[in-house]
Amino acid sequence: MLMTVIAFIPFMTCLFWLVLNPLVHKQDKSFRTLELLLAITGIVSFTQAGLSCSEGKAMLSFFLIKQFFAPLLVPAALLYVSHLTQDRKWKPFLQAWIIIPVSLLFAESILIMLSGTDGFIDSINKTPAGGVYDKTVNLIHFCSFWVFYIVLAVQVLFWIISAIIKATKGKNHIQLYSCTALILAIATLEISVITDGMPQWIAAIVFIILSCTIFYISYAETFKCTICSTNLPEKEAVHDNGQQHHESVTIIADAHQSMADEENLRIRFEDLIVTEQLFLKQGIRISDIASMLETNRTYVSRLVNNTYNMSFSDYMNTLRIDYAEQYLMHHKDAKQSDIAEACGFPNASAFNNVFKKITGVTPKIWLATRS
């Protein structure tokens, strides 16, 4: 009885966040990638839990559902990784990586279906790890298994390395932790498939780890920290050659919008730029943001002007300088080039020019007045 409850904990965790997430972000459509991943993971977890505590026709039903939804974990996981890294442009090679494992897994499912009911039951009884009936299905299952996880491992590992590099330069760690948790979730989900032949205490640990990783990914995504001017320390007045330091104030306030779609666009815009820290990405243009929001650049430009009373370029630079001030306080010995890269500027010269334009002093003078 206790093992049955533990087996269904991953499914209940997915269900909990599937209900809570839309309530927290009811006006925001940018969290649909997480909801898709949770939905598919929840279905696969539910069927795996059902397989571990059922028999006969019930086991056959769970097995059929699992065979259909398991391949969908590939595109769902890759979509979520692209969401974490703000890479929303699907490249041809990425599409090919998805097509190969999904095609192999669906081919396996079709061949098992053609083997009939007896074949299904025989495949379940012989190999709970995926269901193979003859040598052809066995070969496809072996290939799809390795392609499936190599694709995910390479893709997610690549972004973890990128996240580690960014984390060492002062950027947030949400991306790193979420990618790591995603790897653990995928690994434990596969391990849970073969828990029928393991002691119950090992199976219980696997299901608990899976639940924890799902919970962390959902929590980090739903309640991620927002960095904006209102969260930063109050700026102090300083003097340079008798002139008062010009305070940079980021005007981030809700604009009065008459249309619901404009309000939704503003929320999604702030989620992209501020919450996901897209302002730290070098070379980001207003046309890129417009493409991510599925609108035109003129509309985005008008939104920024009306909401924040500044141009898109000034808005991005203000956020970057606010972030740079925080970065300087924690990395006082950092090189100018490292600071510029960490804050989204192409080079040290551009960073110095923008910093002096907004604050009225150079980064060195600003830091000296804070020491």
Query: Can you list the domains of the chain with their CATH numbers?
Result: 2-222 (1.20.1070), 229-370 (1.10.10.60)
Residue 326 CB-half CA count within 13 A? 19
pLDDT in single tens digits along all 371 residues of the chain: 677 787 788 888 888 888 887 776 654 555 677 788 888 888 888 887 777 776 666 776 777 777 677 767 767 776 776 666 555 455 555 556 566 666 766 676 676 666 665 655 555 555 444 444 455 555 555 566 666 666 666 766 676 666 566 555 544 455 556 666 766 666 666 555 555 555 667 777 777 877 787 787 777 766 654 333 333 333 333 334 444 433 333 333 333 334 456 777 778 888 888 887 888 888 888 888 887 887 778 888 888 888 888 888 888 998 999 888 888 888 888 888 888 888 888 888 888 888 888 888 888 888 888 76
Report, in this order, helix, strand and coil percent for the chain, each rounded to 5. 75, 0, 25
172: phi then psi, degrees, rounded to nearest 5: -70, 160
pTM metric for this prediction: 0.49
Both tokens of residue 69? 């939804």
CA distances, 342 to each of 138, 248, 314 (Å): 49, 20, 18
